[in-house]
Amino acid sequence: MDLMQQFRDMRKKQEAYSYVMSVVGWDSQTEAPRGTFPRRADMLGLISAELFKLSTSQEYQDAVYGLFERLDELDDLSAREIKRAKKELDKVVKIPENEYVEYGKLVNLSQRLWEDAKANNDWDSFKGNLAKLIEFNRKFVKYYDPVSPAYNVLLDDFEEGMTMELYDEFFGTLKRDLVPFVRQVLKEGKPLKNDFTLNSFDPEKQKEFCDYLIDVLDFNRDHGLMKESVHPFTWNTHPSDVRFTTRYLENFVFSSIFAAIHELGHATYEQQVDPKWTDTELSGGASMGVHESQSRFYENVLGRSKAFWEAHYPKFQELFPEETKGISLDDFHRATNKVEASFIRVEADELTYPMHIMIRYEIERMLFSDELEVDQLPEVWNQKMVEYLGIEPKTDSEGVLQDVHWSAGLYGYFPTYALGSAYAAQFYYKMKEDLDIDELVRTNNIKAINAWLQEHIHQYGKSKTPKELLLDVTGEEFDPQYYVKYLKEKYSALYL
Amino acid sequence: MDLMQQFRDMRKKQEAYSYVMSVVGWDSQTEAPRGTFPRRADMLGLISAELFKLSTSQEYQDAVYGLFERLDELDDLSAREIKRAKKELDKVVKIPENEYVEYGKLVNLSQRLWEDAKANNDWDSFKGNLAKLIEFNRKFVKYYDPVSPAYNVLLDDFEEGMTMELYDEFFGTLKRDLVPFVRQVLKEGKPLKNDFTLNSFDPEKQKEFCDYLIDVLDFNRDHGLMKESVHPFTWNTHPSDVRFTTRYLENFVFSSIFAAIHELGHATYEQQVDPKWTDTELSGGASMGVHESQSRFYENVLGRSKAFWEAHYPKFQELFPEETKGISLDDFHRATNKVEASFIRVEADELTYPMHIMIRYEIERMLFSDELEVDQLPEVWNQKMVEYLGIEPKTDSEGVLQDVHWSAGLYGYFPTYALGSAYAAQFYYKMKEDLDIDELVRTNNIKAINAWLQEHIHQYGKSKTPKELLLDVTGEEFDPQYYVKYLKEKYSALYL
């Protein structure tokens, strides 16, 4: 169809703009000196204005909406593309321009306000903006979906197909089946020494170890690299160009290692997406949840397994002979799985992590259902921390103010983090039927695991929805019991 | 004037495209993995097509040519901008599109042919393309300047105001006054040991030393950085973002040090251009020759001076205690100024370097004046090597095939390299009247030298032509005798 080709050509040109802006972003986040900011903002402003023009042009709208009206004439995948394109377009063109601009300013301002509020433990200075941001989001979703509950629209934006109903079931399961277990581990768990991990580890040697891990995990260096940044992240523009970062903290050696493995998981996914989806709406990882399932699989299932350290603790000892003196393989492996009730989500361990997400989901859900006022957030937050983790934040900075997301206007995003871990567990039990994972890890044959993931998950990009992927890979619908089972098996063995 | 504002707005948008493409280029030359090339080429192709459209649009042409017709209504600097813009525009729009495209393909092909020809010492496989490239260039310049001799137009393209007449005088002076001196030094010069510089020097330590030099030379790290690449270069998009590279060869420690100082010279220039020229045709360094004068000044005048190593040899010794055992400050300083007849321009020392350039200038001049056939190049090249340096290349790969320039369609470019050194010498004698350079270098006060260069040269960007700069800074026209004097003084003291 001619219109489809026009659509693709226009889209590809937009990709080129996104591409150059992404490279500028990578540069800015990994090496550009401090003083380069104003000029970059100026130049990127002009380029992104051009991209905005292209991606909202009448010509592009005619193509997308025209094709959307003829969805039944398109093959399945083209139809899926057009649905995605239409959804994205709606989000921009259905919102009145003045409101869109006003919201952009509000987000900018709110992020600065939040930074100060967090630094000064000053919730009151931020809460007004938070209320406004939420109001904007409620209003905006109505423009492109006047029917569904606002929070459902947001949840679906971040993870296609997800709703409050589904998440309620998910988090309900965790609340019922996991919370008591977590509290048991925290209370009765065998003590574990990990003090040694907070000693000084030469950052250069940490770097050498992370570089070694790149080959261990069989990451393709022809199409990717690892670099440093303040906050670790994965960056990609195409399967042939996927990069990630970690950071080296002298007194927190696990930070560099597990951030590297985590990001490498995201990056391997992107490298293994079939390049045939390039320039279509179906390129890149399937969803945030599925992406997180991969990073968590590499980080927690592989990277924190006994088998992994049986294979690689010797290398670590070789690099850090003094620092590992008297630390057995067993000590070391257990230290990588230290469980602890803590206030800060991004520092939480694998077992307590979903508790942090549950709190955020429940609060967002109540906010968007008018069951909670912004004013009440700190109190509710702290109550839930006590309920799920048995500890109470002493300040809002280590409580309700800790995350950047809400100040950036992101609601419905958090639950994908926990969903990812749950997907990972369900994939894991399926993979175990096909592969002897421990043996492959122990014998340093991650290639076979990567190949399995490519065959069953990675290659498809967004051509399957998360729901379809789960079903095709595991033969079942999403089932959070796998996650509960995985955590209980693993942490019972380690702690009880 | 309204049209002037329109011109500026259009130009600024073009700058934004150049900016993002430059950042992609920086990434590609300094870190992008090998396998990222095809996607990048694809994406950049689309963006550069957009830029081409903008920079040749009817609207832009109307503005530039419209303003050019009313030059007398503009202030001096605006007039200068419009003249530059018109010249650039002519080069693109006055050449028939099909020839422009054909030429682009020819250049691409020729560069690959040249690479192979150089690798295989196969002049015959390349000479046909070289002849075609030269023909295209002759034809092209006629489109935008039907009157002047073709080579004059090319010389002026690379260095505003330069002509065969002026270069003949320059190189004539060198031939008369410098060649005999060079031959005398090569024949009678005191022997000098520099074997130790070819021993192994840990690249990590070299890096540490180069990093130290950044602060020695007072380079602004808030607006710049140093990185590695195969071929050292300087990169800039704005005075607030200027970067350079060097390379670390284990058995050639001077390569990293002097490449770093050289590029840092270029980079300091760009950092010190007044930001008020941003987005105008007058931003950035004045010309290729003036740029090279700055890099050579930092590299040769400062970096290879006795005073410099009096200040910094101790640091070098500290990093390389074993490697410098038994090497006195005097030995070391002399080694940095080792003179030697050699075949390869890019490896030549300060004294013999202009001989290499003279050969290229004389050949280009004859080619464009029909005094020489492409066929005769290898023979003429070798004769001139014997005449000026007393050595004869054994292969064309170390002779006429060594440089990339001609295969890239660059004629008239080479002479700016020698001109830069000559400018540097003239600036140097002027600076010596104002500053005690040796004392400032010895006491590690390069800041004062940077400030002098900023005040007299750097700040002006392209708002002064090279000719005006020379006159304003030194009170005299360009005079190559300063260059001869500088080299004779320096190398007599070292060698005779």
Per-residue pLDDT of chain B (496 residues; tens, 9 = 90+): 699 999 999 999 999 999 999 999 999 999 999 999 999 999 999 999 999 999 999 999 999 999 999 999 999 999 999 999 999 999 999 999 899 999 999 999 999 999 999 999 999 999 999 999 999 999 999 999 999 999 999 999 999 999 999 999 999 999 999 999 999 999 999 988 899 999 999 999 999 999 999 999 999 999 999 999 999 999 999 999 999 999 999 999 999 999 999 999 999 999 999 999 999 999 999 999 999 999 999 999 999 999 999 999 999 999 999 999 999 999 999 999 999 999 999 999 999 999 999 999 999 999 999 999 999 999 999 999 999 999 999 999 999 999 999 999 999 999 999 999 999 999 999 999 999 999 999 999 999 999 999 999 999 999 999 999 999 999 999 999 999 999 999 999 999 9
The ipTM estimated for the assembled molecules is: 0.94
Q: What is the DSSP letter of A159?
A: S
First-to-last CA distance in chain B? Answer: 63
What is the residue-level pLDDT of chain A in tens, covering all 496 positions? 699 999 999 999 999 999 999 999 999 999 999 999 999 999 999 999 999 999 999 999 999 999 999 999 999 999 999 999 999 999 999 999 899 999 999 999 999 999 999 999 999 999 999 999 999 999 999 999 999 999 999 999 999 999 999 999 999 999 999 999 999 999 999 988 899 999 999 999 999 999 999 999 999 999 999 999 999 999 999 999 999 999 999 999 999 999 999 999 999 999 999 999 999 999 999 999 999 999 999 999 999 999 999 999 999 999 999 999 999 999 999 999 999 999 999 999 999 999 999 999 999 999 999 999 999 999 999 999 999 999 999 999 999 999 999 999 999 999 999 999 999 999 999 999 999 999 999 999 999 999 999 999 999 999 999 999 999 999 999 999 999 999 999 999 999 9
CB A279 within 8 A of CB A8: yes
pLDDT in tens, B215-257: 999 999 999 999 999 999 999 999 999 999 999 999 999 999 9
Rg of the Cα atoms in chain A = 23
Distance, CA of B263 to CA of B260 (rounded, Å): 5
- Number of Cβ within a 10 Å radius of residue A75: 10
The residue of chain A with its CA nearest to that of B16 is A43
Q: Looking at A263, A270, A362, A364, which residue is catalytic?
A: A263
CB A228 within 8 A of CB A256: no
Distance, CA of B270 to CA of B248 (rounded, Å): 24
CA distances from B227 to A347, A431, B342 (A): 33, 43, 29
- Of B297, B197, B301, B207, nearest in space to B251 by CA: B197
- Sign of the Cα torsion A350, A355, A360, A361 reads positive
Contacts of B46 in chain A (CB under 8 A): 12-13, 16
Distance, CA of A16 to CA of B48 (rounded, Å): 10
* Coarse DSSP helix, strand, coil percentages of chain B, rounded to the nearest 5 percent: 70, 5, 25
Say which residue the tokens 């030099």 belong to: B213
B15: its two tokens: 């700058």
- Of B279, B283, B255, B254, nearest in space to B269 by CA: B283
Instruction: Look at B222 and A26 and tell me if their CB atoms are within 8 Å.
Output: no
B462: its two tokens: 């392209």
Interface membership of A146 toward B (CB under 8 Å)? no
Angle, vertex CA A357, rays to CA A487 and CA A490, nearest 5: 10
- Of B302, B325, B301, nearest in space to B312 by CA: B302
Alpha helices in B249-376 (DSSP H): 253-272, 288-296, 306-319, 329-335, 353-368
Tell me what pLDDT residue B1 has. 60
The residue of chain B with its CA nearest to that of A44 is B16
- Number of Cβ within a 10 Å radius of residue B165: 10
The residue of chain B with its CA nearest to that of A13 is B46
Distance, CA of A14 to CA of A89 (rounded, Å): 13
- Number of Cβ within a 10 Å radius of residue A300: 27
- Of A303, A320, A299, A319, nearest in space to A311 by CA: A303
What is the residue type of B258?
F
Contacts of B276 in chain A (CB under 8 A): none
CB B372 within 8 A of CB B432: no
Write the DSSP assignment of A182-230 as a string of letters.
HHHHHHHPPP---GGGGS---HHHHHHHHHHHHHHTT--GGGEEEEE-S
- For the sheet containing B224-228, what is the strand order? B224-228, B241-246, B234-238
Respond yes or no: is residue B489 known to be catalytic: no
Contacts of B26 in chain A (CB under 8 A): 27
* A20: closest CA of chain B, how far (Å): 6
Distance, CA of A291 to CA of A298 (rounded, Å): 11
Q: Which of A17, A202, A222, A241 to mutate to test the interface with B (most CBs of B within 10 A)?
A: A241
The kind and range of the H/E element at B227 are strand B224-228
- Of B253, B299, B298, nearest in space to B272 by CA: B298
The kind and range of the H/E element at A171 are helix A164-173
Distance, CA of A333 to CA of A331 (rounded, Å): 6
pLDDT in tens, B430-478: 999 999 999 999 999 999 999 999 999 999 999 999 999 999 999 999 9
Say which residue the tokens 């700016």 belong to: B416
CB B190 within 8 A of CB A3: no
Pairing type for strands B224-228 and A241-246 reads unpaired
What is the residue type of B155?
L
Instruction: Look at B20 and A16 and tell me if their CB atoms are within 8 Å.
Output: no
CA atoms within 13 A on the CB side of A216: 28
* In CATH, B166-368+411-495 is 3.60.110.10: no
User: Which residue in A13, A15, A20 is closest to B20 by CB distance?
Assistant: A20
3-class secondary structure, B234: strand
Distance, CA of B396 to CA of B332 (rounded, Å): 34
Q: Which of B46, B50, B236 to mutate to test the interface with A (most CBs of A within 10 A)?
A: B46
* Helix A288-296 × helix A415-434 angle, to 10°: 60
CA atoms within 13 A on the CB side of A104: 8
Report the phi/psi class of residue B273: left, alpha or beta, with left for phi > 0 and alpha for psi in -120 to 50: beta
- Sign of the Cα torsion A171, A177, A180, A186 reads negative
- Number of Cβ within a 10 Å radius of residue B495: 20
- For the sheet containing A224-228, what is the strand order? A224-228, A241-246, A234-238
Contacts of B219 in chain A (CB under 8 A): none
- What is the maximal distance between C-alpha atoms in chain A? 70
Distance, CA of B321 to CA of B327 (rounded, Å): 10
Instruction: Look at A36 and B12 and tell me if their CB atoms are within 8 Å.
Output: no
Tell me what pLDDT residue A84 has. 96
3-class secondary structure, B451: helix
Distance, CA of A208 to CA of A248 (rounded, Å): 11
Tell me what pLDDT residue B193 has. 85
Report the phi/psi class of residue B395: left, alpha or beta, with left for phi > 0 and alpha for psi in -120 to 50: beta
User: Which residue in A13, A27, A222 is closest to B33 by CB distance?
Assistant: A222
Tell me what pLDDT residue A193 has. 85
CA distances from B159 to A182, A400, B274, B288, B290 (A): 74, 62, 21, 6, 9
Chain centroid to Cα B96, Å, comes to 30
CB A235 within 8 A of CB A244: yes
3-class secondary structure, B477: coil
Instruction: Look at A47 and B23 and tell me if their CB atoms are within 8 Å.
Output: no
Tell me what pLDDT residue B105 has. 93
3-class secondary structure, A394: coil
CA distances from B352 to A221, B1, B190, B260, B334 (A): 42, 52, 16, 21, 16
- Of B482, B200, B187, nearest in space to B339 by CA: B187
CB B228 within 8 A of CB B280: no
- Of A267, A185, A260, nearest in space to A229 by CA: A260
A420: its two tokens: 């990812």
B363, B369, B372, B373 alpha-carbon torsion, rounded to 10°: 110
B310: its two tokens: 């009096």
Distance, CA of B387 to CA of B359 (rounded, Å): 10
- Do you know the residue count of chain B? 496
Q: Where are the domains of chain A?
A: 3-147, 166-368+411-495
CB B157 within 8 A of CB B412: yes
Q: Which class for A207: exposed (0-12), middle (13-18), buried (19 or more C-beta within 10 A)?
A: middle
CB B202 within 8 A of CB B219: no
Tell me what pLDDT residue B202 has. 97
